[in-house]
Structure 1
Amino acid sequence: MNRRRRLWLAAGLAALLAVIVVLAAIVAGSSRTSSGPSPSSAPSSVATGGTPTSTPSATQTPAPPAAVPAPPTIPELPASPMNILVIGSDSRANAREQNNQTITTGESSDQRSDCLMLIHVPADRHKIYGISILRDNWVDIPGYGASKINASLEVGGTPLVVRTVESLLGTHIDHTVMLDFNGFKTLTDGLGGIDVNVTMPFTASFETHHSFSAGINHLDGQAALEFVRERYSFVDGDYQRVRNQHTFLQALLTKLRSGIQTPAGVLGLVNFAANYLTVDQGFDPASVAILAYGLRTVDPGASVFFTLPTAGTGTSPDGQSIVIPDYAGIGEVAAALRDGTLPEYAAAHGY
């Protein structure tokens, strides 16, 4: 894959991960960005009687140089907080098509949310906060009843996921971004891979059974997918998986940062990511570009990721293994979101 192709893949994912992400969309591992073809300064020939000539005659007036287009601009993101819900679908098919089918017909689809994270972007945009919601949380899904939260995508598509999370956290979600397995792998490969610091070595229990050693590992799309999905290799299962997702996102955000410093590094690349991302109706490419560019001031190293509080594991009435929500702890997170005090909440809990 050539460098320009990587840059296109990259900036698209940067928009997602800047939304996360976001994650995301993706930036190549260099600070250079593609600004598109340069304009020609003048015609190379003049046609006379169907035969091109290389120089004008003495009676001809040379054509004036073509105007150089103004550099692209992107409006500044309004100085107000924003919540973006990032959904990782476990679809082996096409998550967008399945989602549209569910929304249109009301029929369930063969996909659930393998990853669910609320990204809170404060008004000052110095850092972002990522709040992971474990997929097996046993919650009330509006209009459906008690179930694992990941089932909301299956039975009602992204609108029902949004309603469920809004109900759980008592907060408004401004935008949604969904990415499926194939999109995740393609976008990561477009970046040329990601260097991730593995703190707990393991061997994946599925697909290629990739082995992750302690320290820095360079991950291509397939290895990255196994890294963020694995849970059976860990004593605490999904809890470590979410920590690995946080590790991956911080590594990715660090690599993305250089690609969203200029409008030229964002514009023209977001449309490519649109082939892989499912976003809400109001989140068009222009809106994604504004958000991605607005997050150029975010410090990935200062950003905070944590898991929504739980009260352990248990068994549902129908025999499923579930995670029990800690509603008192969730109430504290909800209050921090409502009151704009997430920094104080995070500091008090050691995040």
Structure 2
Amino acid sequence: MAGPELIDADQTQTTPPASDPPSPQKRKRRKLRLFLLITGLVLVVLAGGGALAATLYVRGVEKSIDKVDAFTEVPTQQRPEKVVADAMNILLLGSDSRDPDNTEGSRSDTIILLHLPADRSSAQLISIPRDTWVHVPKSKNGQHGNRDAKINASFAWGGLPLMVQSVEEFTKVRIDHVTLIDFAGFQEIVDALDGIDVNVDQNFTSHHPPYRKFTKGTMHMDGTVALDFARQRKQLVDGDFGRIRHQQDVIRAILDKAASGGLLTNPGKLNSFLKATANAVAVDKTMSIVDLAPQLRHLRSGNLTFLTTPTKGTGMVGSESVVFADPAKAKPLYDAVRRDSVRDILANAK
């Protein structure tokens, strides 16, 4: 699977135009709605009872998950060294192909490096702003890359392998697995949970019809409202940084509801939730929920930490509006990830 183009609709034509429309099979694979952590969390709690049937059910769910090739074309000699064998780093890539603001096909909305420490007692999710100005390695066909660009150009120029290379070169962290997401799928996931409670951090009105008003404080959202909330950026005080934060808030709320909302005591609701997630998740060919789920047994939103790569703010490079990383702060943060030092990760967090 080539994967969706990850070009920002606001980006100028420094990147190649969109390719031909995808086939129905590829289009289906691109509607990826939730990352592995959410599915794994619920499945492992179910399996925690020790029932053989639960394990068999997990295996059945895994068979319905699409597998993608993320690493075959990544030059081994150019990859960072794996420092701590049992720690795991998962690259979560999100797009929103149905965003009303999206006029140029699918684009990247979210790039997250999920770090699972060796003891699996917590997880750190570090967002990389999609407009971060980085060096993009040369694509396999040699026609693109090998120059500075927005990090989300990597996918359009070289698919998953080039995105993995760009993130690894930027962070110096070796990526173990990749998961693909389409945030538009939050709608079905949230509805399967009968809604979620989200802490809204500021008053604003959606600039998409029907122009919903979001009021500061705890707000119960169904799937349609949660998706609208996670899409907004233009009217937020801090723009795309605000959208990153709101998407993190939605993820946190989904995890809370999935873990504590009575899902496991309602077989019908649990089945609907699992179908809404597992049928829409894509992971790299080496990832196994059966193997990973037991390791995530104790994860809840309380021991998840959401971070954002330290930056110096936004600016212009030619006609492009970009985000400049702050190397002095980002380097020790990602070095802590490489060394699997949760204490130092949190100490260096923005």
TM over 0.5: yes
Distance change (3 Å), C-alpha of 1:321 and 1:81: same
Cα distance in 2 for residues equivalent to 1:89 and 1:256: 22
| C-alpha contact (below 8 Å) 2:120/2:296 kept by paired residues | yes
- Secondary structure of the residue aligned to 1:248 is helix
Matches within 5 A, 1:323-338: 323-338=323-338
Matches within 5 A, 1:274-313: 274-283=278-287, 287-313=288-314
Cα deviation digits, residues 217-249 of structure 1 (max 9, x gap): 111222112212211122211122222222222
What residue is the counterpart of 2:9 in the other structure? none
Residue type at the aligned position of 1:138 = W
Distance change (3 Å), C-alpha of 1:237 and 1:272: closer
How much has 1:16 moved relative to structure 2?
4.9
What residue is the counterpart of 1:97 in the other structure? none
Residue type at the aligned position of 2:280 = Y
How much has 1:345 moved relative to structure 2?
3.2
Larger Rg: 1
| C-alpha contact (below 8 Å) 1:202/1:213 kept by paired residues | yes
TM-score where L is the length of structure 1:
0.68
Check if 1:141 corresponds to 2:136. Answer: yes
Distance change (3 Å), C-alpha of 1:172 and 1:261: farther
Residue type at the aligned position of 1:198 = V
What residue is the counterpart of 2:115 in the other structure? 120
How much has 1:211 moved relative to structure 2?
1.6
Structure 2 unaligned residues grouped into runs of 5+: 1-32, 59-84, 139-144
Distance change (3 Å), C-alpha of 1:208 and 1:269: closer
Distance change (3 Å), C-alpha of 1:233 and 1:293: farther
Structure 1 unaligned residues grouped into runs of 5+: 1-14, 35-68, 94-108
Cα deviation digits, residues 246-268 of structure 1 (max 9, x gap): 22222222222358989x99999
Distance change (3 Å), C-alpha of 1:328 and 1:232: same
What residue is the counterpart of 1:87 in the other structure? 93
| C-alpha contact (below 8 Å) 1:260/1:296 kept by paired residues | no
Residue type at the aligned position of 2:55 = T
Distance change (3 Å), C-alpha of 1:339 and 1:182: closer
| C-alpha contact (below 8 Å) 2:181/2:282 kept by paired residues | yes
| C-alpha contact (below 8 Å) 2:92/2:178 kept by paired residues | yes
Report % sequence identity: 39
Distance change (3 Å), C-alpha of 1:348 and 1:180: closer
Residue type at the aligned position of 2:236 = F
TM-score where L is the length of structure 2:
0.68
| C-alpha contact (below 8 Å) 2:190/2:254 kept by paired residues | no
- The worse-fitting range, judged by mean Cα deviation, of 211-220 and 288-297 is 288-297
Distance change (3 Å), C-alpha of 1:207 and 1:180: farther
State how many pairs are aligned. Answer: 275
Runs of 4+ in structure 1 displaced over 3 angstroms? 24-28, 69-75, 258-262, 264-272
Cα deviation digits, residues 84-138 of structure 1 (max 9, x gap): 1111113239xxxxxxxxxxxxxxx932211111111112222210100011111
- Which of 188, 201, 204 is matched with 1:202 structurally? 204
Cα distance in 2 for residues equivalent to 1:199 and 1:184: 20
- Secondary structure of the residue aligned to 1:297 is coil
Matches within 5 A, 1:185-196: 185-196=187-198
| C-alpha contact (below 8 Å) 2:333/2:348 kept by paired residues | no
Residue type at the aligned position of 1:338 = R
Residue type at the aligned position of 1:276 = A
Distance change (3 Å), C-alpha of 1:218 and 1:271: closer
